[in-house]
A and B are shown apart, each in its own frame.
Chain A
Amino acid sequence: MSMFGQVFVKNNQYKLKGNFHHLTPNTPIRNADDGWKLLGVTNPRDMTYMHSYGGEAIFFESLSQGKLLATRCDGQGCDSQGIIYQPFRIHCPDCLGKNTVIDMTDNAKKTAKIHTFMVCERSGAFNLLNKPIKFINIEFAGVATILMSYLSIGEPSFGMRVVPIFKTSGPTFTILDLSWVPEGTKVEQLPEGFSF
């Protein structure tokens, strides 16, 4: 029986377990308008990538623990000293020094509001979110940037106060583990696996 490809790291080397690709035969593409002559062939392929989050790994790990991390430049003399970045940036784009990781969960709970939004009826292949997807871009007090995410409950509007929720049960360890709901939403209304 096949098993999804799984990976762990030991001695700084990727260790692989399970099936990383599945063989599917090529099939001919023929022209129905011209005597079924051969035009081409399908090239099926199913691959699994091994992607490192590098210095952002702590951000994605923390989502599963109900925390929203950001970073701040503390570089002495840097023009960007004190600027808080969400999305999390490992290095300051000005001085390229390593940013300080900060926990901004409380700030998000108290100040997050919708900067802009849209409702997406269609998606590309491999989408895992339920449609329609309510994209929201969120601004926070004291943060220089505006985070893109999605609203799980309710209809978005400009300036709407929202609070973060986290997929702490069965996390995917992707950005999908972070979502938002209108301020005042009850815990029992949250989607499965999410908590405040």
Chain B
Amino acid sequence: MITFSKQQLKIPRLQRPVYLVTAGQSKFDRAFPDKRTEELCIDAFTMAAKLLDISPAELKRSIHTCYYGHFADHFGDQLLGESVIHDRLGLDPLGNVGVKTGGATGGSTIWEAMKAVASGYSDCVLAMGWERMDEVPTDEGNFLISCAADKDWESPLGHIYTGYYAVMAQRYWQIFGKSEESFRRTLAEISVKHHGYARFNPFAHAPMKITVDDVLKSPVIAYPLRALDCCLMSVGAACTILCDEDTAFKLTKNTKNKPLRIWVAAGSHSLRPADRQHMEIPLLPHETADQYKDLGERFPGGDRYPGFTGFLAARMAAYYGYGMTGITNPLEDLDVVELHDAFTISDVQTYEDVGLRPYGYGRDYVESGDCYHTNPHTGKPGKLPSNLSGGLIGCMHSVGATGIMQTFEIATHIWNRWEEFHGDEKIWKDFNREKPSDWTNLQVVGAKRGMAISHAGVGSHVTSTILMDPDHLIKKDA
């Protein structure tokens, strides 16, 4: 039984406020045979500078330290890739460090960058992430990803990560989905939604207009998960710039980018789900122990926590993040979220871990229409739209960049600049992509607060990145 000491449950406190001032990203795709990684990183950095109406050279003059997220050296076949990118960005001799936490690498990179500013070590920090996943055939790519499981106990069992999530899907479907076919269709609906939103995102790798039946007829990878339940294997880069208050307001003066307050928190759990012992559910501010005391009666088998149905790391990242920012109910306090939909099932699990629905009821977040930009049942705005970028299923999973792409997306909503970066004909043309005739503006009107969840392995590392308009904080002294 895992228990926590009072010290371990302490809510983190930053020494000074940290602001996100800009962000940028490259095009995302399955392969870039004509571009080196550094070219993609420079594309992302140049975009970040452009959002501040300054040149890359001017932006660089403010930067003091750099954090680089790059999950897999073996994919790019380049150790110290961080040093290559740092040099090509012309940022020597500034201090830099590489960050590697699997799928959560992007979120963890921002986590480290935030701490550098919050501590006073630096006033302006670059957080840049990328992944080069096109240098090996897809089956070898799946092998390399499976190396993120335990190499002696798990990886030899098929060398395919989807399998490790499929056992979770099967268990969740039996217990909380009550083995209902309708639950399987709800999972498929997530894929339809995310591939569909990707159609309105010129950066996205896999835009698709598909139906639930298309998902259910797609090839089985690891039953019950099918090809269209799975995230993409992408190439691309993304970056963001974090600053202290003085630098933030100086850099954004006379620009459309309002400095946004940023907090990042993190949690972890065992790499092997096999090792997860039963424990009490750690509670979020809007939950009570009473609401879970009969969970096993309502959902037989559901009383083993986190078991194969929840992610303790995500729950802890939310616990710390909500404590830092004063969020008491994410569904009410947030306006937009980007969740780590590595698989349709993990998206549903995460709804519960971060408190969008109580444990056992994640499917309702989709079925109610709350997760949509426009609720399909009411025609009104969704209560808390998720993954309007298309997420990992529709937009990209260029691993080291993913958490940063999500943060970029949240920022564009709060800046009220989403339409500008997703609807601009020039971006579509530059990326050699066709803007759909039914392109829809997914700007969340009036968005002031948002959150991105970055997640690794089968829940080994999770970060929650929370952005807020500084004039709309929940806790004034946060």
Q: Which residues of A contact B (CB under 8 A)?
A: 29, 31, 39-40, 43, 51, 53, 56, 60, 79, 83, 85-87, 89, 93, 115-129, 133, 135, 137, 144-150, 158, 174-176
B427 to chain A, nearest CB (A): 23
> How far apart are the CA atoms of A117 and B275 in the complex, in Å?
16
Please list 9 pairs of residues, one from A and one from B, whose beta carbons are closer than 8 Å in the complex, sorted by A's number: A43-B77, A89-B275, A120-B222, A121-B223, A122-B162, A124-B140, A125-B139, A135-B163, A175-B152
> Is A127 in contact with B160, judged by CB distance below 8 angstroms?
yes
Which of B143, B174, B219, B276 is within 8 Å of A158, CB to CB?
B174
> Is A115 in contact with B160, judged by CB distance below 8 angstroms?
no
Which of A53, A86, A119, A158 is within 8 Å of B222, CB to CB?
A119
> Is A149 in contact with B223, judged by CB distance below 8 angstroms?
no
B262 to chain A, nearest CB (A): 33
Question: Which residues of B, 391-418, contact A by the 8 Å Cβ criterion?
Answer: none
Which of B34, B139, B158 is within 8 Å of A129, CB to CB?
B158
Contacts of B140 in A (CB 8 A): 124-125
> Is A135 in contact with B273, judged by CB distance below 8 angstroms?
no
B271 to chain A, nearest CB (A): 11
> Is B159 in contact with A127, judged by CB distance below 8 angstroms?
yes
> Is B277 in contact with A144, judged by CB distance below 8 angstroms?
yes
A103 to chain B, nearest CB (A): 19
Contacts of B146 in A (CB 8 A): 124
Question: Given contacts A116-B171, A137-B308, is CB(A145)–CB(B159) below 8 Å?
Answer: no
Question: Given contacts A40-B33, A126-B159, A137-B308, is CB(A148)–CB(B153) below 8 Å?
Answer: yes
Which of B3, B34, B156, B169 is within 8 Å of A128, CB to CB?
B156
> Is A120 in contact with B162, judged by CB distance below 8 angstroms?
yes
Most A C-beta atoms less than 10 A away, residue of B144, B157, B171, B220: B157
> How far apart are the CA atoms of A29 and B33 in the complex, in Å?
9
The 8 A-B residue pairs whose C-beta atoms are closest, nearest first, are: A124-B159, A124-B142, A118-B166, A124-B143, A116-B171, A120-B222, A125-B143, A125-B139
Contacts of A158 in B (CB 8 A): 174
> Is A135 in contact with B167, judged by CB distance below 8 angstroms?
yes
Which of A83, A120, A126, A145 is within 8 Å of B143, CB to CB?
A126
Contacts of B275 in A (CB 8 A): 85, 87, 89, 93, 145
> How far apart are the CA atoms of A158 and B172 in the complex, in Å?
12
> Is B219 in contact with A175, judged by CB distance below 8 angstroms?
no
> Is A137 in contact with B167, judged by CB distance below 8 angstroms?
yes
Which of A39, A53, A145, A148 is within 8 Å of B277, CB to CB?
A145
Contacts of B142 in A (CB 8 A): 122-125
With both beta carbons as reference points, the residue of chain B lying nearest to A37 in the complex is identified as B34
Contacts of B143 in A (CB 8 A): 124-127
> Is A56 in contact with B152, judged by CB distance below 8 angstroms?
yes
Contacts of B308 in A (CB 8 A): 115-116, 137, 146
Question: Given contacts A116-B171, A135-B222, is CB(A174)–CB(B274) below 8 Å?
Answer: no
With both beta carbons as reference points, the residue of chain B lying nearest to A127 in the complex is identified as B159
Question: Given contacts A40-B33, A118-B163, is CB(A135)–CB(B158) below 8 Å?
Answer: yes
> Is A120 in contact with B168, judged by CB distance below 8 angstroms?
no
> How far apart are the CA atoms of A20 and B441 in the complex, in Å?
56
> How far apart are the CA atoms of A163 and B137 in the complex, in Å?
37
With both beta carbons as reference points, the residue of chain B lying nearest to A174 in the complex is identified as B156
> How far apart are the CA atoms of A29 and B135 in the complex, in Å?
12
A60 to chain B, nearest CB (A): 8
Contacts of B151 in A (CB 8 A): 51
> Is A123 in contact with B137, judged by CB distance below 8 angstroms?
no
- The answer to whether B221 has its CB under 8 Å from any CB of chain A is yes
Which of B1, B152, B272, B273 is within 8 Å of A174, CB to CB?
B152
Additional A-B contact list (18), CB under 8 Å, known A123-B142, A135-B158: A29-B33, A79-B3, A85-B275, A86-B274, A87-B272, A87-B274, A115-B308, A116-B174, A119-B220, A120-B163, A124-B144, A124-B160, A125-B139, A125-B142, A126-B143, A133-B158, A135-B222, A145-B274
> Is B170 in contact with A123, judged by CB distance below 8 angstroms?
no
Question: Given contacts A115-B308, A125-B143, A144-B277, is CB(A39)–CB(B33) below 8 Å?
Answer: yes
With both beta carbons as reference points, the residue of chain B lying nearest to A133 in the complex is identified as B158
A117 to chain B, nearest CB (A): 6
> How far apart are the CA atoms of A137 and B307 in the complex, in Å?
11
> Is A118 in contact with B33, judged by CB distance below 8 angstroms?
no
> Is A123 in contact with B158, judged by CB distance below 8 angstroms?
yes
Which of A116, A117, A145, A175 is within 8 Å of B156, CB to CB?
A175
Most B C-beta atoms less than 10 A away, residue of A60, A127, A150: A127
> Is A116 in contact with B170, judged by CB distance below 8 angstroms?
yes
> How far apart are the CA atoms of A17 and B171 in the complex, in Å?
46
Most B C-beta atoms less than 10 A away, residue of A87, A115, A117, A120: A120
B147 to chain A, nearest CB (A): 9
- The answer to whether B224 has its CB under 8 Å from any CB of chain A is yes
- The answer to whether B367 has its CB under 8 Å from any CB of chain A is no
- The answer to whether B154 has its CB under 8 Å from any CB of chain A is yes
Contacts of B162 in A (CB 8 A): 120, 122
A165 to chain B, nearest CB (A): 15
Question: Given contacts A39-B34, A87-B153, A125-B159, is CB(A148)–CB(B272) below 8 Å?
Answer: yes
- The answer to whether B145 has its CB under 8 Å from any CB of chain A is yes
B161 to chain A, nearest CB (A): 8
Question: Which residues of B, 33-78, contact A by the 8 Å Cβ criterion?
Answer: 33-34, 77
Question: Which residues of B, 209-224, contact A by the 8 Å Cβ criterion?
Answer: 219-224
> How far apart are the CA atoms of A54 and B146 in the complex, in Å?
22
Question: Given contacts A123-B142, A133-B158, is CB(A118)–CB(B77) below 8 Å?
Answer: no
> Is B272 in contact with A119, judged by CB distance below 8 angstroms?
no
> Is B152 in contact with A146, judged by CB distance below 8 angstroms?
no
B85 to chain A, nearest CB (A): 18
> Is A122 in contact with B160, judged by CB distance below 8 angstroms?
yes
